[in-house]
Amino acid sequence: MKASYKKYILDFKIPSGTSRGVLRQKETWILILEENGRYGIGECGLLKGLSFDDVDGYEEKLKWACKNIDLGKDALWGALSDFPSIQFGMEQAFLSLQSENPFVLFASDFVEKGSPIPINGLIWMGNEGFMHEQIEQKLAGGFRCIKMKIGAIDFGKEISLLASIRKKYSKEQIELRVDANGAFEPSGALEKLQRLAQFDLHSIEQPIRQGNPEAMRHLCGATPIPIALDEELIGVTNVTEKQNLLQTIKPQYIILKPSFIGGYRGSEEWIDLAENQEIGWWITSALESNIGLNAIAQWTYTLRSQMPQGLGTGSLYTNNFESPLEVENGKLFYKENKKWETDLIEKLCI
C-alpha cells in the first residue's frame, strides 16, 4: 500500500465572518491511498486558529502517517490522538479504498435512493444589511432551520435581526439557532441569554469560550435557552475525560465536528456518552471541501437523527470539487445524476 497527500487551498466566494475573524481561504489536506490499482481518498480538514492540531509539525506528522500506512487504520488512529483531523482523513481513506466506488463510504438510501438530510441554513456575521440579505436568501431557499452567527457586531443590532425574523415567522415556522463562538464574557453571558430567550431560540452554541467548565456549568444550569457545546469538545481525547466534562457541565446539547474530535470513532464516543446522560447532539462540518463533507454526510445519514444537521457548507467556495452533493429546499441530497469531478483522484495524485 502507498500513501500520499496534497495540500489544497479553498477560496471563499464571499469573506465569511465569525467572532474570531473573517475567513477568506481555508487550508486543507487531501490524503490518497493506493493498493493494487485501487484508490482511497480522505480529507484532513484543518482549520487555522481553531483545530486542536493546528500546530507546528502538522505536515511532518501527516508525512509520518503516510510513511507508516502499513500499520493499518486502527493502529494509526491510536498513534494520531493529538491529530484528530489526520485520524479522520485516515478513516475516510481506508473506507474509500475498501469500497467499489471510492466516494461511497457508507451504503444507504442517502446515496442509493436520494433520501435527503435536513440541514440548517448558515448566516455569517457581517453588517446588518448583509445579514438580512442572507436570511432572506435562506428563507427563499426553503430552509426551516436557520443558524445565525452572533457576537461580532453590536449585540443590539443582532437582537433587532432576530426580532425581525420572529415578527414574520413563529418558532413553528422557522427554527432559530445562534452560535456565539465563545464571544460572550462569563460575567454578562446570562443576561444576554435572558434577552435572547424572547425569540424562542432552539439553542445557542458555545456562549462563552471553552476551557472554563465551572462557568459553563453554572450557565447551563441557569440558562433560559438550551446550550450546545462545540469548541468545548476540542482537544478532549480520553473517554474518561469526555465523560467527566459532560457530567461536570451538563449541557443540553453537544455539536460534533469529526475533523476536530477524532473522526467517526471519536464522534461516536461522544454520542454514546451523551445519550447515556440524555444530552442531545447533532453533526456539523468544519468547512471541509466536498470530499470531507461527503464523508461526514454519508455517515451522518446512518445515525438516523431527525434534527437538522450543519452540513450546508459545500457551496461556500469558488474552487470546491464538483460532486453529487446538492442543497435543495433546506435539505442535503446526493444526486445520482451528478458526478464527481472527472479523474479527481488522478488529478490529486499528480
d(CA 24, CA 306): 32
Catalytic residue chosen out of the listed positions 26, 138, 192, 257: 257
- CA 234 to centroid of chain Cα atoms: 12
Grid-cell match 453554572, residue found:
218
The verdict on whether 48 is a catalytic residue reads: no
Cell numbers 413553528: residue:
172
Write the CB contacts of 43 (distance below 8 Å, at least 6 apart in sequence).
28, 29, 30, 31, 88, 89, 92, 259, 288, 289, 291, 292, 295
Q: Which amino acid is at 200?
A: D
Helix (H, G, I), strand (E, B) or coil at 195: helix
Tell the residue number behind the cell numbers 424562542, with chain if given.
Answer: 200
Q: Residue 265: CB partners within 8 Å, gap ≥ 6?
A: 77, 87, 91
Cβ–Cβ under 8 Å, residues 249 and 216: yes
Lookup: cell for 33: 491511498
Which residues are CB-neighbours of 171 under 8 A, at least 6 positions away?
A: 200, 202
> Please, what is the Cα angle at 66 between 83 and 12, to 5 degrees?
60
Please name the residues in contact with 13: beta carbons below 8 A apart, sequence gap of 6 or more. 315, 316, 317, 318
Residue of 26, 138, 149, 192 with catalytic role: 149
Cα 171 from Cα 176, distance rounded (Å): 7
**CA dist list (Å): 336 to 39, 293, 324, 332:** 21, 17, 7, 13
Which cell is 63 given? Answer: 508525512
Q: Identity (one letter) of the amino acid at 333?
A: F
Residue with cell 473506507: 95
Does residue 257 have an active-site annotation?
A: yes
Residue among 250, 210, 251 at smallest CA distance from 228: 251
Please tell me what DSSP assigns to residue 52: T
List residues with catalytic annotation: 149, 257
